[in-house]
Amino acid sequence: MKSTRLQCFLKVADLGSFSAAAEALNLQPSSVTRHVTALEEEMGARFFHRSRKRVALTEAGGLFAPFARRILEEEREARSAISGLQTMPSGLLTISCTRAFGEYWLAAKLPDFLESYPHITVSIRFDDRIVDLGEEGVDLAIRIGALEDSDLIALRILDNDFRLVAAPEYLDRHSWPLTLEMLPQHHWVGLATRRWSNLRVLGHDAILPAKSQRVEVNTPSAVHQLVRNGAGLTVLPTWMVADDIASGRLVVLFEDHKFSPYLSDDSAVYAVYQERRFMPPKLRAFLDFLRTEAASAV
């Protein structure tokens, strides 16, 4: 049911004249007549008694008029609500994020975002699998490392530098490794995941042997806790261990070298989202927030 037809019908009903309604709506009288006739045919009822002297509502027309007004009012309210969504950041923002980055980095930053945007509600799913944004109703996903080819738009948030670390207590018991060749002699704490199965020294052909792993767990947070408590050596991202390094809880080994657990040299953190003709303000606000927070962390 077209709103123009409803507007013409109501204006004729209010003014009692097709010509007066046409003038008020800035339309030709023939256009008003055509819209009203089309509405009558659509509804299967005659809405006006037409004569040369006057135009009056039929019983059906009088019954239909309040419904027509309600339909137009609800349409205006709907347009206003949608317009608000397109201008003020609001609504539910659903995010998928790798567990470690979400728990260590994002969760620490999120309160500032919520404070800045009180009309946005956030739902975060900590999940290391690659989710289908469209099928699972996710606005944005945060992923680490080389991305697979897709139709998604990717925004590089920050570099994901890794540090080779150990607790001072462990080094006191097992001595400091003086060369890279000594590393396999030490106890390693590993992460049991296919993507994190190689400990590489960037710029070198060497891959640190997995055979020297003393313990293997399936979450980065567990790796972190074990190393902090002296179980061995590992490589962890800077955003996870920066506070421990600053406090002396962990020591960085071979600071002049860069390490990575990934086969690809790309271990950056990305925000990915679907291409949209109209980006919701809530999504744009969150992307801007991520850029700002990442820049301040450099």
Give the chain's residues under pLDDT 70: 1, 80-81, 83-86, 149, 194-198, 205-213, 276-278, 297-298
110 and 52 fall within a common domain:
no
171 and 256 fall within a common domain:
yes
The predicted-structure confidence for 228-262, as pLDDT tens digits, reads as follows: 999 999 999 999 999 999 999 999 999 988 888 87
Can you give the pLDDT at residue 130? 86
- CA dihedral over 26, 28, 34, 37, signed as positive or negative: positive
172 and 111 fall within a common domain:
no
The predicted-structure confidence for 280-290, as pLDDT tens digits, reads as follows: 889 999 999 99
What is the residue type of 87? T
- Cα 185 to its chain centre, rounded Å, is 43
Domain end: 87, 108, 123, which one?
A: 87
23 and 76 fall within a common domain:
yes
281 and 139 fall within a common domain:
yes
| CA separation for the pair 156, 217 (Å, rounded) | 28
- Are the CB atoms for 196 and 144 separated by under 8 Å? no
117 and 240 fall within a common domain:
no
63: domain CATH number is: 1.10.10.10
106 and 173 fall within a common domain:
no
| CA separation for the pair 173, 121 (Å, rounded) | 49
Closest by CA to 25, choosing from 42, 38, 6, is: 6
Domain end: 87, 118, 145, which one?
A: 87
Q: Which token pair is 45?
A: 């009822």
Can you give the pLDDT at residue 277? 67
168 and 234 fall within a common domain:
yes
166 and 252 fall within a common domain:
yes
Domain end: 69, 87, 105, which one?
A: 87
166 and 248 fall within a common domain:
yes
Can you give the pLDDT at residue 194? 65
The domain of 49 spans 3-87
79 and 223 fall within a common domain:
no
Task: Give Cα separations from 62 to 12, 16, 57, 67 (angstroms).
Answer: 12, 13, 6, 10
The structural domain count of the chain equals: 3
279: domain CATH number is: 3.40.190.10
197: domain CATH number is: 3.40.190.290
Can you give the pLDDT at residue 195? 62
Q: Which token pair is 215?
A: 């313990």
34 and 123 fall within a common domain:
no
